[in-house]
Amino acid sequence: MMPASKSHPTANLSPETVVVAAGRPPREPDAPVNPPIVLSSTFHGAGIPAPGERVYGRFSNPTWDPFETALSELEGAALPALVFSSGLAAVAAALSLVPTGGILVMPRHSYQGSLLLAAEEAANGRFAVRTVDIADTDQVLRALQGAEAGPDGGAEPASMLWIESPTNPMLEVAEIDVLARAAHDAGALVVADNTFSTPLVTRPLELGADVVLHSVTKYLAGHSDVVLGALATSDEELHARLHSYRSLHGAVAGPFEVWLALRGLRTLALRIERSQATAGLLAERLLGHPAVEAVRYPGLPGDAGYERAAKQMNGFGSILCIEVAGGAAAAEAVAGSVRLWLPATSLGGVESLIERRRRQPGEPHSVPENLLRLSVGIEHAEDLWSDLSQALAR
């Protein structure tokens, strides 16, 4: 396991440089430029293991270290990040920090896996869940303080605040710094799912979050070819608890997948720059389209989250949503008529994806039936617009 570090060698570099420079092997004669893949379940050692020794592949692997180092430097974490076997495995680890009998405050619009896992834990009686409109700061503050009884029936202060900003799929923007301060005042931990934004767009730890979560599958790896998750924190106690959870629950990543994720991370800045610019262009054009009832994108000046996004984000992300005139059938027809966009779930890859979210079992009913989520990739903007236009015209 990599030793804890309070400073990063890339601390004075821009994030666009960090994605390329972080996690490299030492500069020695004939050393590889890229870290190698280490395929071993067992590591040499005799006697009682000293703290930090690898011992066994469920505890650590040399191939994890460069990726975990690079992600921690991008997020500004004082400790190495922790890579998990999937985004949902990372979600489960983060939820393990909610004490038994505690209360989790969670956005009503969140990654579906997070909502379903939290609901399962609540059904099993481990903790209670209060869902909120994360963009309604006053509502979240009341839920944190227990000023009014939530669906759990109690009025106790919260134990954890879960933040997505922008939310999946409604793209609501939270006041992360304000909510984090209020959560800490209430004695609650703050977990921020930063999958949509990536650390190039938002840095939740700097805004007060205790733990940052990623589905590495999405933007960080960026090529729709691995399933991984990650958590980052600067708190040594939380880091130890999360590492213990990963080891005991076997939520460990394969070395080859992590190596692919690090390779994908190297182009993150270029991919985000291109996809963000195209997403903004498409959002502006879709605003006036007769087949579109509404456009959701925090980069539009008329969007409800625009001012907050402009304040706390470096750009506005690469996800946008549209509500298609004609209801669910019309939305399905658009998703079925594209030729370049791929009708598929997930997001954050080099390819552009389109999906009607309410087709997914368990999607909140507050998500409109006619809403299409668009994950903008790195194709030429005019090609994407032409394909979407012909599908909308049908």
For β-strands 371-375 and 353-356, DSSP reports them as: antiparallel
**DSSP state letter for 324:** E
Q: How far apart are CA 95 and CA 118, in angstroms?
A: 8
Name the residue among 201, 210, 252 with its Cα closest to residue 233: 210
* Residue 363 CB-half CA count within 13 A: 19
Distance CA 318, CA 280 (A): 8
Positive or negative torsion for Cα 41, 44, 50, 54: negative
Residue 111 catalytic?
yes
Distance CA 107, CA 124 (A): 20
Q: Which of 24, 65, 111, 142 is catalytic?
A: 111
Catalytic-labelled residue, pool 65, 193, 210, 303? 193
- Write the burial class of residue 48 (CB in 10 Å: 0-12 exposed, 13-18 middle, 19+ buried): exposed
Name the token pair of 103. 């209360």
Token code pair at residue 135: 């963009």
The strand pairing partners of 238, in sequence order, are none
Length of the chain, in residues: 394
5 to each of 9, 121, 207, 235, how far by Cα in Å? 10, 34, 20, 12
Nearest Cα to Cα of residue 120 among 362, 357, 346, 365: 362
311 is catalytic: no
Alpha-carbon gap, residue 358 to 342, rounded angstroms: 17
Q: To which residue do tokens 């213990």 refer? A: 244
Preceding amide of 107 cis, omega within 30? no
Q: Choose the catalytic residue: 56, 58, 235, 359.
A: 58
Catalytic residue among 218, 246, 271, 308: 218
Q: Which residues pair with 322 in a beta bridge?
A: 295, 372
Q: Which DSSP string do the residues of 170-218 spell out, in sequence order?
A: T-----HHHHHHHHHHTT-EEEEE-TTT-TTT--GGGGT-SEEEE-TTT
| Active site amino acids | 58, 111, 193, 218
